[in-house]
Structure 1
């Protein structure tokens, strides 16, 4: 069987592109979706007496509106703080204590704001783009699940979120697995419910530098954990990375993923969607 490294010549032919919208074609839709968010941010700014007070007021908003307002707050007031950090309400006092002195002064924020009746189109475009983060990965897993069920559904079951949803936690899914490690899917043999494959899916639009190195190291750790588990339990469980997107063509990504297969000692496979028909076979699943 060809290995992932053998596809490097002509790699472009094996990449799947998930379409993105062209800028500025979505500006009108972005305005329809996010104008009210910027109007609300404008009102909160002008009713607050400090940037710290503004953050407190935003934290009192409800649900999705609060998250969108936090994204705007980060752009205008505090680029040092991530939305993930800001959205935990109980942490707001500590964030203000630790980072509040770096917030942009509220009077300067007021000077930078667009008029209430004419919100900043660039911010609306950014908010629109945020909504699609992760969507390409969901398309990848959904397409793979559909292919797998059509091809192997009679004998094997694939378990996991097709699109959005919580990762599978391996210590909860595999008996005796010692680590609370997340996975995107697990493939079982239906006849006896034996786990055969632990899978991870990723769509890379862009990738490089330190992130690339971190990804490779993390994937090696996954292979190590699952190979150790397979040896201890004497189960034929393997690792499958479904990776796709133009990011695979950047830097050393293709070589890095090829090295994962070598490291996995035939218990690890890397595939793009255009390789699955050729590489994922019943023989491999049962090996």
Structure 2
């Protein structure tokens, strides 16, 4: 064998050996990759299981949270309902408290007036008659000047002059203020001051109906106390109601006069007064005669 052939054989052997080494290396690398792939597969499977477990847990937790939320909402709605009911009850309680307080104040004022002799049980008895208590009181003063005293007596001077001295507002009300009432008392020669004038005005309003409240909506005349330094106290009446009352009362006065010799002349004037204004003047002025 020649040197050339030997050299070629050696080179082929080295090449084969190198290829075998490279093949072994590749096989090792492939085995390593297979192991890594298996490990990754196992890891993915564990992750999938974990994810499934977490999803199940999250679903259960979400259901629990939803149930709790629904329960909280139901409790909240119930609490809100109770709170609203409590608020409504408190408002009713406050209104009742205010009404009772106002009634107690009127009761105390009434009791004070009873103790001082400015009102008596006769006012209650008069509620069952056709006449208003203020009309009855005015007739009492007319027939017996000493029958009344104090602010009740002063009120019987203001009442007959109410319509004549009143001012009619654009809203259809008749108004008599404290200065107007004071002028009426002064012209009648009745001793008075600002406070007694206002109390007498209260009596006019209170006795123009059958309630203790001088500002009751059912009364013919209502008392408004005014604001200190801004507006005076005043007596207020609906013009239409007052004039209707005067017309009806004039008819009653005529009927009553048949059995009352003292009022014969006054009631004759009522018969003659055909117009509403004439009846009004006759009715109110009749109560002042003989005072």
TM-score in terms of structure 2 length? 0.24
Q: Specify which structure has the higher proportion of strand.
A: 1
Of structures 1 and 2, the larger Rg is shown by 2
Higher relative contact order (CA 8 A, sep 6+): 1
TM-score in terms of structure 1 length? 0.25
